[in-house]
Amino acid sequence: MESLRRRGKITFAHRGLCGRQPENTLPSLAAAIPYADYCEIDIRVTADDQLVLMHDATLRRTTDVAGVFPERADDPVSTFTLAELRRLDAGRWFDPGAATGIPTLREALELLAGSHCGALLELKTDSMNLVAAELTRHLADHPEARVAAASVVPARSAELRRLLPKSIIGVLFLDAGTITDAEIAGYAEYADFLCFRTDRITAPLVDRVHRAGPLIMHNTNTRAWMDEGARAGADGTMTDWPDRREESHLGFAELIIEAESLLGVARTSGPASRRRGDHGLGFKFSGRSGLAVELALGDWFEFPFIADQGRTALRCDLVRHPAGGVISADLDDAPIASGLDLRGPSPSQREIEFTQALAAGPHRLRLTATTPGTLLLDRLSLRHARSTVP
């Protein structure tokens, strides 16, 4: 299992660097390479038995299928041929300037083969013979390539072990709160690592998994919880933001405030509510809930925060979505940004960093609607400012 490691703790880049690039695309994989040990990619099969990268069973969320094939917009990926998928754009939903196509598994493997970064395939299909054949071909062409495979369906992982006896195999999206020692022992018969769907991992769970044999990973996008997991003994992290894992090794301090926790202290001229997130739709990106504020033209949302040290930079993680609007931002009554467009065809994260260095003490951030819309706020981050911040 040491072959899974490149250095220290293991970092799986979830669908590439999908916090900054459209998920499961070649740009997302390329962006993740400097920060990740493995890029996790989701594999589905087309109508003509081609393997492609796609998380969802349908294409609507992450492509322009509704415009290209309007009558088939909600049809399964498996009903489209590769030639038809080549007509779709898989990037503009994330950012209008991020046009890119749906890659095949072979294209993704070839991209990663030229780097230190391996590929972790999450199978969204039962066509495991096709996947095994493609991996066998790839490893014959690239003997030094690092490839692992896993599934959220344990039976698929067990079958992968049979088909790929020398490969690294994992089981994903396990529940840390309900898993039994008997289940862990059963997974250990064929899995090299277990990945839990929790931000926070505990030392007792780490010990239970390690005693059975596998390594233990967990899902989180919050750097403080990455470090907390490392202290608990977890072997690594799966994250949308692998660059945050890298930064944690560089010693930056960061305080992350989940937006829903601001509900009791924020002031707003429009109704605000805690909104349950849906990872399948891309929101919430950290944790399980977010803060939703309905804003008419000119309405505002303001919340206080305290910077506990000087030279602190402020970042807001907002959500671009169909009902979003355009906002401006004021910090301590001074304008700092305008024309922040939060409209988009599908939910995606927009990270806004205000580069002014803040003094230690209390501050207020106000977001004002310049067009009507629903403001979805994911979280607020305070970090020790880089040297480039004045």
Residue 156 has a CB neighbour count (10 Å cut-off) of: 21
**Residue 297 or residue 308, greater confidence:** 297
Characterize the bridge pairing of strands 193-196 and 168-174: parallel
Tell me what the mean pLDDT of segment 119-146 comes to. 94
**Residue 240 or residue 2, greater confidence:** 240
Backbone angles phi, psi at 73, to 5 degrees: -60, -30
pLDDT averaged over every residue in the chain = 84
Which tens digits make up the pLDDT trace of 243-292? 866 544 333 345 666 676 676 677 888 666 555 444 333 344 444 457 78
Q: Give the list of residues 6+ apart from residue 95 with CB closer than 8 angstroms, or none.
A: 22, 348
Residue 293 has pLDDT above 70, yes or no: yes
Which tens digits make up the pLDDT trace of 309-362? 665 678 787 888 888 899 999 999 999 889 999 998 777 777 777 766 788 788
Residue ranges matching CATH 2.60.120.260 in the chain: 255-384
Q: Give the list of residues 6+ apart from residue 50 with CB closer than 8 angstroms, or none.
A: 81, 82, 104
Tell me what the mean pLDDT of segment 363-378 comes to. 88
Residue 145 has pLDDT above 70, yes or no: yes
Per-residue model confidence (pLDDT) at position 141:
95
Residue 187 has pLDDT above 90, yes or no: yes
Residue 226 has pLDDT above 90, yes or no: no
Q: How confident is the model at residue 154 (pLDDT cuts 50, 70, 90)?
A: very high
Which tens digits make up the pLDDT trace of 89-115? 999 988 888 899 999 999 999 999 989
* pTM beyond 0.75: no
Q: How confident is the model at residue 157 (pLDDT cuts 50, 70, 90)?
A: very high
Per-residue model confidence (pLDDT) at position 289:
58
Residue ranges matching CATH 3.20.20.190 in the chain: 1-249
Domain 255-384 matching CATH 2.60.120.260: the answer reads yes
Which of 191, 189, 200 minimizes the C-alpha distance to 223? 200
Strands (E), 205-271: 215-219, 236-239, 254-258, 267-268
Q: Give the list of residues 6+ apart from residue 212 with CB closer than 8 angstroms, or none.
A: 181, 184, 185, 187, 188
Domain 1-249 matching CATH 3.20.20.190: the answer reads yes
Per-residue model confidence (pLDDT) at position 81:
98
Show the tokens assigned to 214: 């596998």
Per-residue model confidence (pLDDT) at position 279:
35
